[in-house]
Each structure stands twice: as structure tokens, then as C-alpha cells.
Structure 1
Amino acid sequence: MRKRKVQWLAAACVFCMAQPVWAATESTTVYQDQLDSVGQSYLGEISKASTPEYSNIRVVRRGEKAKSSEPVEQLPTRIDADKMSYTGSTGDVYAQGDVVVTHGNQTLKAPRIEGNTKTTEYRTVGGYHYLEDGGKTKDIKGENMTYRTSDRHFTADQAMGWTDPYYVKGNNATFDGQIGHIEKGMVTTKHAMAFVHTPDYRVEGQDITVYPGDKVVIKKPSFYIKNFKLFSLPSYTSSLRHDKEGKFSIFSLVPKPTYSSDDGLGLHGSTDYPIGKHGEAYIDYRWYIKSGFKPKMGYRHYLPWATASIGYSKESNEYNDETVWVEKIGEARLDTHTYHVGKSPVTVRGGVNAGYWKEGSVKGTHEEYYTEVSHDPIKLWKNADLRFLGGYQRDYYGYNDSIRSMPYWGVRFRSKAGKRANVWVSYNQRNISYNNSPYRFDTTELPKELIYGGSYKLTRLDDISVSVKTNMMSGDIDSIYYTWHRDLHSFDLYLTYKDGHKNKDNQWKVKFVGKDF
């Protein structure tokens, strides 16, 4: 069962998406919705259900006297102002002059605030400035806000500013505790927002309605790159169910430019459409000058303990540093969430999938079963993490009736070395049976490999990295990668040189990708 934290003034952003989703079974097993085997895992958190606060406000006068008269009891809200009055019998509150309302990690500033502790409704006069976590997660300004703490209902004539992960602007913003709404709205990302200039890209809509954890519906949306309108639609609905980090990409439908040396210039776009209470249809398309059209489409269904899906896709992987594509026809998947076992740091996950694969002349049915055990990162010292993992994967290939049995294990180490540098070391061992894969797409090139390297930040926008891959079966260095990365505001540019070492397979690669796509 998914739970959400109830936040005072959460409605100050009508685009307040779902918080990271954690859940617990009756046996207190905690799970996370996503965990990549080569990434990090983080301890789950069980959110306790909370109720709206109906308690009275403690009115505190600003100045030295306020510092020496701290409330004896823990009251939900504090108001500081140059001038104020509070009537206990009626509950009326009036505050004027640099008014600051504080509740937990939320702060509301306004020239004047009027309200009543019994009706729990408060109004700002002359504009408002709302911050959450000191502005890191929310920093919203606007005109004439009304908020009720009893049911979290929020209205504002105007709302504009930062609400993680988007920059929003619009009129007549409302939030009734469950649904957010804004009229004549604009949404863009932090990376696209060029301060006072026109955003690199944005979506404008006559009416934008957000159903947290479910979907966003935009009436008469227009998609822009700078001031150039790409296209408009009568209506656009995008699912929020696939997003486990409280973010959704309403820009995903817009064709975004990409470039790679292997595939050439391309365009990438995607969208998800909610179906029923727990499902969604999805399509993700990529078109490249060299590789052609590469779509992914199908249906996914969210279960309490896993995600099930069925669809068609063309997917890529690296084989000898060259991009190879496989066509997956009618592939059905079931992937569990990653669970913490009891209160321990140990995590487990698993899954099964089956479909028809086609890679050139190699084609046939494919089935896979896998399970993996890992744990939360071990803190060796400040900014240094160590993590182990182990698992088992078994593949059945209809092409040549072969079976690949592959137990595996690995270890990851990452650390910061000062303010500008990072270092890493990883070891991967895949104990493959006699048969490897008949497909280059999932062939294991180095059953035992050691990878180590580091990066250094040259400037605010530039960094360089070196990564060395060693074949531990022969003890030889397989290849060395030198990469320069440049932050291009809304995009990232990667220029990589591969030193093939003994194989003399030297090559340059260029990749140009969007940050928020």
C-alpha cells in the first residue's frame, strides 16, 4: 500500500508530485520500487499517516522578546510580524509587516496575513512567497493566497517559481488536497529555464490539472522550443504512475534531438496514457539517420509487489563498443520491486520474461529468469561507499535450443577525492556455462572484468574522466576510455576516445543528449 506524507502548504505548488514511494508488508519487509544492479540502493522509509492540524497558532512578536518567550508546548504554526493581534475567544489573527509563518520545513512570507485559528483559513494580502526546505524543493511567489490547514485547500490568483523538478507559472492556482489545477499555465524544467530569458523548451496549456500519482491532463497544450511552436493538441494526457521519484515528463512527447557516432543524428520522444486504476499504455520512439526507426510500445500494469508488462520493442546494447539492436516481439515481463528483508540492510529482487527475439539472421524464442541479492551501501568513510551484489540468471534460446546458466557476483566502490575529483573501482564476475548467448545483444564479452577510474571537474561546466577495463582472465588491459563532458545547459555533450590497447581498436565517439528527456 502506498502512502504519502501530508505536508502543510503542500498545495503551494499545484504540480506537487508523489514523494518517493516506499511501502511495508505486515512482516515489516520494506521495499523500493527500483534498484539497478550496478547502482546504489538506499534504505526505505515508512511514512506515518498524519492528520491536518487544528491547534491554535502561537503568535510571537518579533525581536528579543520573542527569543526569550519560546512556546512551552509544541504548536504547529508560528507567526512573526512587526505588528499583530490575536483574539483567543474568536480565533481571529491579524499580522502585518514582514510576516513570516513557519511550520516545519515550510515558510510563508507576506506583507500581511489575516485568518482564523478556528476555521483554519488564512489569507495573504499584497503577495506571498512560499519556500520549502529553504527553497531547495519549492520556491513559489504570487498574489493573494488563501490556505486552509484543516483540509489543505489552497487558492492563489497567481503562482510562479520553482517546484522540484519543474519551473511553473500560471493563474488561478488551486489544490484541494488531492488534485492540483492551474489556468493559462506554463511548465518547464530547471535546466531549460535560462533565468530571465525564454526557456529552452516549455509546455503551455489553457488548463492544467494534476492528479498526483495518476496522471496530468492539459487542455489545448502547445509545445515550444524557445519561441518556436512545434505543435499544438486539443488535449494531452500523460501518466504519472511509472514515475517512482516524484517526477513526470510532460516534455517527453516533443521530438528531442540526439546524436551518437554509431547511430547518427536522431529524434527521441515518448508518452504514457493511463488505463484503469493501475495500468498504462506506453510508446517510446527513436529515429536515427543510420539506424532508422526504433520504437517501444505496449502496456504495463502496476501490482502491489511488482510491475508486469507486455509489448514490442527495438533495444540497443554495446558489443565490442559498437551499438547492436535486437527486436523483441510480444515480450512479457514481470519484475518485482526490490525488497529490504525485515529491518536488515539486505535487499532482494527478481523477475521473469519471455518473448521472441530477432537480431539479423539470429531469431527465435527467448526466456529469462533472474534473482539478485544486495544490500545498502557500506560507508567506509565520509563520501566513500562499498557495495556487494550477487545473483543468478538463466536464459533459454529457441534459436539453437541452448541454455545459458550464469551465476554472478560483483563489488562496487565509489569515493570523492576532494571537492572536484571522484574515483571508482568495480569487479564483475559472471560464471557462464559452456553456452554463451547466440545474440550479440546480450553476449557477455568479459566474464571476469575489473574497471577502475576517476573524474575531475575542470570548470563549472566541464569535467574529464578516465576509465580502465581489465580482462582478469588474461590479466591484460582490454581498453582505456578518455571522456570530456561539457554541460550545455539543457543538453550534455560527451566526447570519448577509446584506446583499444593490444586489440588496436582505437576510436572516437560523440554523444549529444538532453538532460530532462
Structure 2
Amino acid sequence: MAPSVIRILTCFVLLTLLGSPAFSQDDRKEKITLEADYLVYEEAEGIARAEGNAKLRTKDMTLYASHLEYHVYEQVVKATAGDGGEVVMLSDGKRLSGERLEYDLLSKEGRLYNASGQVDSVFLKGGSLEVAPAKAAMQRKWISKGDAKRVPPEEQVGRWSDVSITTCDQPRPHYRLVTSHVTVIPGYRLVAKNPKIYIGESLLFSYPFDYTVDLREKKEGASAVPFLAYDSDKGVGMRLSTSLSWSEEFEADATVFYWTEEDFEGEISGRYRPNPELDLFLLSQYTYSSPDDEKLWRPQWGANWVHQGWTANVLWSEREDVEVEKEAGVTYEGTLWRSPEFSLSSPWKKVGLHNEARLLLFWGEYEEVGESYRRSGWGVEARSEEEPVSGPRLKPYWRLRYLWWDYDHKDDLQEITSANVGFTWKAGIFSMRTAYLRRWVSGKSPMAWDDYDEREELYQTVSMPVTGKWHLSLRGGYDLRDSHLDEMVYRVIYDEHCYQWEFVYVDDMVEDDDWAGLRLTIKAYPEQPVFLNDKIRKLDELETEL
């Protein structure tokens, strides 16, 4: 059909629809446009039929289909896909597709059959998708009253049945979660009912809890996979977690560990965010500690505040299991009470062209081995801006830190100056990082956990591809004062298109406290990796200083 004829029919249908009894004066403000290769309006039945490249547009959505019916009086749209085609619905930047659609333009409710689509970084594909505004979704018990309050009443909530979920954009995703139904609250969260986890086509595990993806912060919920771990004190262990969320401001997590040497451990945590700058938290761990040689509840609570680069933290803790690396291969382990500890850091400020610095303030009351202490102090940090390595030439960097701590015990005072100078460079397939670390200490602390000695060490990291998707990284820590290799860190990385596995093994050559762990990073959520052993997180924090 010629384009001019299409336009004439389009205008005719528009005029007819807008003049029909189904439209009140207010309804005329919402224009509905229907276009197709062939259009016919059956006035007696009040049905507009569109065949071939049919397109329906409203202020909220655009619909494409091979065949489309618009029931004027009921204001219901029915669309079907032709051979090899699909029904496509576009709304608020989201794309949904399927074989058949039934949708009520008045109630904003409908059903899409054999649906697929994308919500943020999550791809979904499966059976039928029902959509309804938040209020109607609450009445149908898809979501709770609390969930309904977190989104605008007109926000479309989706309930998907027999659906496969992944963040992998490949035709055959490397991993996926399969569930009987999933509820999607756009811009808030996605909840999958007791999903089954597949790697490729192989079933890995059936998860006993609901699995949540937080769409506000691109953050996954608790890990849906029961990871294994190893600890030299506890043996081989398994971890299983779940997440809960009662309101937009409040969320909680629960984790259970089972160790071959220590049986069960547990952890519960909760966070309350009254505004984007303030984070109140509570954490209680039931864990074994080698200094105590027993399992105890170890609660912590406090607050974190961030405003225009300023950061403040306040922390209370009881029987806290503290691990502090004093130097390569030497880690202090002990039990500490904080009641409370307060810290404040200023924003990083430019110093020259490529350097920056900030100020630090500290105050705290502590209990260690039955003795109470008070500590106050200040510090300053400065560093260079590190550039990424893009060629064979050296990229130097440096970091300096000065800390001054005063104690209420006798005349104890401790001054710590740390310097780190290094460079990164490439040599063929090898990525290299060399760091020289020096620490000077004057005075002492009456407590063991923050009493430091001088150190002088050299660290060398070598990273290289091995074959295909496999990579290897080695990092050694050499004590220049004792002329001894204190530590080796081995990392084996398997890098897939959508995710990355990383195995870490630490060989402690001083205290023989070896450990191993795994990290799984879903590339759609790189800031929220899943740690098999939380020591990997602490190792990363230490290596940022190298």
C-alpha cells in the first residue's frame, strides 16, 4: 500500500477513535496512533484491525506486531507475531518481546506470552509475563505493601513465570538462573523464587531461598551459590546466604557457614539508610577465633557518613576478631572491644598537577586482654595519581602516610611514617608491578593490635596470560631487613565473557598461616564480587597499599 494511503487511513482511524464513546473529554489528551500496511476499522464492532508492520503508539509505549487489533470500546489491544516475527513493546527505555500480547490501555494491565526482555543489566526469557501498576500488583499479592510504597503507583510491576535469568548477553549464556516465577519492580529490585543455578546446560544447585538483585545500586543480593572455602584454623567450609528487604531504607542479610573443623558458624547483618549520605549498620557474627579458642557472638554496630568527599565513621564492637597484617607474612590476631572508635577524613585535594592529599582524625576507646585504653590522633596522606599502563615505558607512583597517636597509658605515644614507591611496566606478555615499602616507627602503643614495628620490604608482581581464557599472577614479598622471602601470593584467573573466576592461594613463609579462596565476579556488577573467603577482600585492601 502506498505511503499516502497509509497516512490517510491512519488519520481516519485516529479521528474515529478519538470521537468514539470510549473517550471522555479528559481521555482525548492521550493520543493513540495506529499505523500498518493494511488498516480496517469495523465501526459496528468498534475494532480496528491492522495487518503487516503494525505499529501502535501511546504516550507511555510503542507496540510493534505483524497483526494487531484495537478494541475501541474496551480499550484493549491484542497483538500477535507472524511467522518468525515477534511482538515488541517499548516503554521507558525498556524492550519486551514475545509471541502474543493482550493489554488493557485503561488499567495498564496485560499479559505477554513467551516473553523475553531486559531490566537494567539483567536478561530474562521464559513463559508468560503479566504486568500491572504497583497498586494492582499489591492487590494480587505479587508484591508487599512495603514494596508498593517504594515506587510510584503507576509504575509497572512484572511477574514472569517459568523464566531464565542471566546478565550474559550471549545467545547461549554461560550461566543462568531458572525459576518458576520472578517479580520485577523496575528501578528497585528483582526477586527470583527458589532459582536453580546452571553453568551452561549443567545444573549446579537448587537455591532454597528467594534470590534478590538490587536494581537501585546495580548490586546483587546474597550469593545464590553455596561456595566452598578453606581456612587453616577451620578446615574446609561451605557458605550459604540469603537477603531480606523490608523497605527501601532497610535491608538485611543472613549467612550460614559449615566448617569441617568447627561445625556451624553464622552471621546476620542489617542496614538502615535514612538518606543517601548516612548508613546505619548492625552486624553480629557467631564465629570461632583462634585467640579465644572458642565460638562466640561478636556484635558490631555503628554509622558511616559521606558528604562532598568528607567521610566519618563511628564503630562499636564486642569481642571483635581482629586480624592486622604488620608486615608480609606476619599477621596479628586478637580480640578487641571498641566503645566507640571514631574517624574522620577530609576530601582528597590536589597538590600540584598529579598529586593529592587529605587529612585524618581519630579518637577511640578500646579494651584488649581485659585492659581499657583511650587513643586519639591525627594523620595526613598524600599520593600520586596513577596512570594505567598502556605501553612498555615505566609508570611511577608513590604514597606517603604520617600517623600520630597519643594514648592515655603512661606517656605512650606512637608516630608512624610509611612510604611506598614503585612503578608499573610491561615486558611483552608480562605485566609487572614493583613496589618498595618502608615504615619508620617512633614510640610504642600499649595495645598489641596497633603497635607497629619498622619494616622494609620489596614486592614484585608478575601477571601473564597462560592460554585462552586463563591468566596467572604471582606476587612475592621479600623482607630486606632479614633477607628472607616472607610471602607468595598466587592467583589463577578464568575470564569468561560474562563472569570471572579467581582462585587465590597465599603461602605464608613466616607463620605458616596459609589459606586459599575463590572470587566470582559477574561483570554486569563488577563492584559487588562474591567472595568464597572474605580474606580475599582484606588481601585486596592490603595490596592497594603496594
Q: Which residue of 2 aligns with 1:162?
A: 166
Higher helix share goes to which structure? Answer: 2
1:381 corresponds to which letter in structure 2?
Answer: S
Distance in 1 (CA, whole Å) between partners of 2:379 and 2:456 is: 19
Give the equivalent residue in structure 2 for 1:144.
Answer: 129
Match of 2:118 among 131, 156, 165: 131
Kindly indicate whether the alpha-carbon contact (under 8 Å) linking 1:315 and 1:327 is maintained by their aligned counterparts in 2: yes
Task: Indicate whether 1:326 and 2:327 are aligned.
Answer: no
Larger radius of gyration: 2
Provide closer, same or farther for how the CA distance between residues 361 and 177 of structure 1 changes in structure 2, counting only shifts above 3 A.
closer
Q: CA deviation at 1:239?
A: 9.4
- The Cα of 1:347 is off from its aligned counterpart by 7.0
Contact 1:308–1:333 (Cα < 8 Å) also in 2: yes
Query: What secondary structure, in the 3-state scheme, does the structure 2 residue paired with 1:453 have?
Result: strand
Specify the SS of the correspondent of 1:254. strand
Q: How many residues align?
A: 415
**Quick check: 2:305–2:313 contact (8 Å CA) kept in 1?**
yes
1:104-503 to 2 correspondence within 5 Å?
106-115=94-103, 121=108, 123-132=110-119, 137-139=122-124, 141-146=126-131, 151-158=154-161, 159-162=163-166, 167=177, 169-171=179-181, 173=183, 175=185, 185-186=193-194, 193-200=198-205, 202-204=207-209, 250=253, 252-257=254-259, 269-274=266-271, 277=274, 279-287=280-288, 291-293=293-295, 296-305=298-307, 306-312=312-318, 313-319=320-326, 321-336=329-344, 339=347, 346=356, 348=358, 350-358=360-368, 364-374=373-383, 377-381=386-390, 388-399=398-409, 401-411=411-421, 413=423, 422-432=431-441, 434-437=442-445, 439-458=447-466, 464-471=472-479, 478-479=485-486, 481=488, 483=490, 485=492, 494-497=504-507
What is the aligned-residue identity percentage? 11
1:315 Cα shift? 0.7
Q: Structure 1 residues 510, 409: closer, same or farther in 2, change over 3 A?
A: closer
CA 1:225–1:448 in structure 2 vs 1: closer, same or farther (change >3 Å)? Answer: closer
Q: Is the 8 A contact 2:267 2:283 kept in 1?
A: yes
Where does structure 2 lack aligned partners over 5 or more consecutive residues?
1-29, 38-52, 134-151, 169-174, 229-237, 521-529, 532-546
Contact 2:252 2:271 in 1 (8 A): no
SS in 2 for 1:379: coil
Distance in 1 separating the partners of 2:439 and 2:72: 71
Contact 2:316–2:337 (CA<8 Å) still a contact in 1? no
**Cα shift at 1:311:** 1.9
User: Aligned partners of 1:444, 1:366: CA distance in 2, in Å?
Assistant: 15
Residue 389 of structure 1 and its aligned partner are, at CA, apart by: 3.7
- The answer for the alignment partner of 2:13 in structure 1 is none
Which structure carries more relative contact order (alpha carbon 8 Å, separation 6+)?
1
User: Relative to structure 1, is the Cα distance of residues 109 and 299 closer, same or farther in structure 2, using a 3 angstrom cutoff?
Assistant: same
Structure 2: distance between partners of 1:387 and 1:93: 63
Partners of 2:345 and 2:70 in 1: CA distance: 51
| Matched-pair contact (CA < 8 Å) for 2:194–2:206 | no
Q: Is the 8 A contact 1:468 1:477 kept in 2?
A: no
Aligned amino acid, residue 144 of structure 1: L
The answer (yes or no) to whether the contact 2:403–2:416 under 8 Å persists in 1 is yes
Query: Shift of residue 112 of structure 1?
Result: 2.7
Q: Following the alignment from structure 2 to structure 1, what is the Cα–Cα distance between the partners of residues 422 and 72?
A: 60
* Contact persistence 2:78–2:103 (CA under 8 A): yes
Instruction: Name the aligned partner's letter for residue 131 of structure 2.
Output: T
Secondary structure of the residue that 1:381 maps to in structure 2? coil
Letter in structure 1 aligned against 2:95 = T
RMSD: 5.7
Paired letter, 2:209: E
Q: Is the 8 A contact 1:309 1:333 kept in 2?
A: yes
Cα 1:122–1:336, aligned 2, differ >3 Å: closer, same or farther?
farther
**Residue-by-residue CA offset, 1:182-222 (whole Å, 9 max, x unaligned):** 6xx2268xxx75455554473425x9898968x9999xxx9
Tell me which residue corresponds to 1:40: none
2:492 & 2:201 partners in 1: Cα distance?
Answer: 26
Cα 1:120–1:272 change in 2 (3 A) is same
CA contact (8 A) 1:60 1:80 kept: no
Shift of 1:354: 0.9
- Partners of 1:418 and 1:104 lie apart in 2 by 47
CA distances 1:286-335 after superposition (whole Å, capped 9, x unpaired): 32678533654122224353343222212112356244323221342334
SS in 1 for 2:255: coil
Take 2:181 and 2:440, find their aligned partners in 1: how far apart are those partners?
60
Counterpart CA distance in 2 for 1:223 and 1:466 is 28
CA distance in structure 2 between the partners assigned to 1:139 and 1:415 by the alignment: 42
Measured after TM superposition, the shift of residue 509 of structure 1 is 2.4
Distance 2:514 2:487 in 1: 13
The 8 Å contact of residues 444 and 451 in structure 2, kept in 1 or not, is answered as: yes
SS in structure 2 of the partner of residue 405 of structure 1 = strand
Give the whole-Å Cα distance in 2 for the aligned partners of 1:283 and 1:407.
34
Contact map agreement 1:105 1:132 (CA 8 A) in 2: no
Letter in 2 for 1:308: V
Residue aligning to 2:231: none
Query: Counterpart of 1:23?
Result: none
1:494 CA drift (Å): 4.2
Q: 1:510 to 1:286 in 2, by over 3 A?
A: same
Are 1:315 and 1:326, in contact at CA under 8 Å, matched by a contact in 2? yes
Q: What runs of 5+ residues in structure 1 fail to find an aligned partner?
A: 1-53, 62-68, 243-247, 259-263, 500-504
CA distance 1:109–1:465, change in 2 (3 Å) = same
Pair 1:457–1:310, CA change in 2 (3 A): same
TM-score (norm 1): 0.58
Contact 1:113 1:122 in 2 (8 A): no
